[in-house]
Amino acid sequence: MEITLFNLKSGEKATITRLEDGEAFRKKLASLNIRVGKTIRKITEQPLHGPVVIEIGNTEATIGMNMAKKIIVAPFGVISK
């Protein structure tokens, strides 16, 4: 099952499967090691269309809501094939 990072539940882990946007977006995310195949944990999201807070490796980061909607993930515990 694939959902967006935005729709992932707070506290859940997932694997990044796809990034829906061009080169620049991919490069920007890569600077914090947010890449396809990496495990990501959503810590929380802020109200009023605020940003999403994630943990990846040993890094925490804040990502704008619209960016989080373009990061496609497969949540853990769900076998996706």
Partner 1 sequence: MGNPNVGKSAIFSRLTGVDVLVSNYPGTTIEFKKGIIKLDEQLVEVIDVPGTYSLEATSRAEEVAVSMLKEGDLVINVVDATNLERNLYLTLQLLERNIPVILVLNFWDETRHLGIQVDAKKLETHLDTPVVPAVAVTGEGIKELVSRLSEARIHENKFDEEGRWIEIGKIIKEVQKVTLKKHTLLETLEDMSIKPLTGIPITLLILALVFWLVRFVGENLIIYLFDPLFEYYLPAVIGLSDTLGRGGIIHDVLVGTFIEGKIDYVQSMGLLTTGLYVPLAMVLPYVFAFYLMLGILEDSGYLPRLATLVDAILHRLGMHGLAIIPMLLGFGCNVPGALSTRILETKKQRFIAATLMAIAVPCMAQTAMVFALLGSYGIKGLGIYFVTLFIVWLTLGLLLNKILKGETPETFMEIPPYRIPYLGSLVKKLWMRMRSFLTEAIPFVLLGVFIVNILYVFGMIEWISEAAAPVIVGILGLPKEAVASLIIGFLRKDVAVGMLLPLGLDMGQLIVASVVLTMYFPCVATFVVLFKELGAMELIKATAIMLVSTLLVGGILNVLL
For residue 46, what are the CA distances in angstroms to 6, 22, 62, 78? Answer: 11, 26, 10, 26
Q: Which of 4, 51, 72, 74 binds partner 1 (CB under 8 A)?
A: 51
What is the secondary structure of 23-52 as a DSSP string?
A: HHHHHHHHTTT--TT-EEEEEEE-TTT--E
Q: How far is the CB of 29 from partner 1 (least distance, A)?
A: 8
Q: Which of 47, 77, 79, 80 binds partner 1 (CB under 8 A)?
A: 47
* Residue 72 engages partner 1 in binding (rule: CB under 8 A): no
Kind of pairing between the strands at 59-63 and 71-75: unpaired
Q: Which of 12, 59, 76, 78 binds partner 1 (CB under 8 A)?
A: 59
Which residues would be at the binding site for partner 1 (CB under 8 A)? 10, 27-33, 35, 43-44, 46-51, 53, 57-67
